[in-house]
Amino acid sequence: MKLLRFGPPGQEKPGILDSQGKIRDLSSVCDDIDGATLHPESLATLSHVDLNTLPVVDSDVRIGACVNKVSKFICIGLNYADHAAESGMPIPAEPEVFSKFTSAICGPNDPIIKPRNSDKLDWEVELAIVIGKDASYVSEAEAPEYIAGYCVCNDVSERTFQLERGNQWDKGKGCDSFGPIGPYLVTADEVGNPNELKMWLEVNGKRYQDGSSKTMIFQPAYIVSYLSQFTTLKAGDVISTGTPPGVGLGQKPPKYLEVGDKIDLGIEGLGTQHQVVQSAP
């Protein structure tokens, strides 16, 4: 299933994409796409709904973040060996963990807001995991049972804030609009093998990232198991799993986003995102 949320910011409704690519309104079936809806039993119920009985939504509707009420937005850094190399950093022995503030979450096509005093605004196409039930101390073999699905994430980053203003990454990762997720939450059964998905990102029509999740150092099941040793992952939590090479920081010379730039990105089977950079108010 491809689950989504649509409507104005703060007023999104739950939806599902049918086999013809039309959005169907799920409001009569569930209140939202959140942790409660993503529990395996709830997903099983949704899978038996006759989508032809649900109202069709206008195709030009705004698409919101694909999951709501996210308690934790966790990220894994340097999780592709070739990206670590272009960043001039060693391959980590264990996952590099940091967080984005949940207030960074926005819709997949909402504007990217360039913060005040930003001079190194960067992009990162990433595969994100969405948790379906609470996970604490789970094994790698058990971990897939706790994954509701996957989505596209643009791990927008401000490199000056991240790397040159102290030792904390979070302030360069969690600014408003730095976490577009969606357009869809694609359930794990439909994704199949998450370790072989093509990923790409373009800026103003030029392709900078063209990779695959198969080059991850730590793969999704391991990441979920690893994180569950330190915190209880809650249903609806989002884990962004790292980016392949081609980020702005790695260009020679480095290239960063400016107001007016257009970003297009996507992952095989998970849909695409389209953003324009705007200045902060």
Give the model confidence (pLDDT) of 247-272 as tens digits.
Answer: 999 999 999 999 999 999 999 999 99
Three-class DSSP category at 223:
helix
Taking the domains of the chain in order of start, what are their residue ranges? 67-279
Q: What is the pLDDT of residues 3-36, one digit of tens each?
A: 999 999 999 999 999 999 999 999 999 999 999 9
Q: Which CATH class is domain 67-279?
A: alpha beta
Mean pLDDT of 40-68: 97
State the DSSP H helix or E strand holding residue 207, giving kind and residue range, or none if neither. Answer: strand 206-212
> What pLDDT does 50 receive?
97
- In the 8-state DSSP scheme, what is residue 4? E
The confidence band for 211, taking pLDDT boundaries of 50, 70 and 90, is very high
**Helix (H, G, I), strand (E, B), or coil: what is residue 113?**
strand
Placement of tokens 């409704």 in the chain: 13
d(CA 90, CA 93): 9
Give residues with Cβ within 8 angstroms of 134, minimum separation 6: 146, 232, 233, 234, 235
pLDDT at 86 over 80: no
Q: CA 173: distance to chain centroid? A: 13
Strands, sheet with 96-99, edge to edge from the N-terminal-most edge strand:
23-25, 13-17, 2-6, 185-187, 147-154, 125-131, 238-240, 73-77, 96-99
pLDDT, residue 91, reads 84
- Number of helices (H) and strands (E), helices first, in the chain? 6, 18
Let me know: does 73 contact 130? Beta carbons within 8 Å.
no
Assess whether pLDDT exceeds 80 at residue 126.
Answer: yes
Strand 238-240, strand 73-77: pairing: parallel
pLDDT, residue 78, reads 87
CB-based contact 238:130 (threshold 8 Å): yes
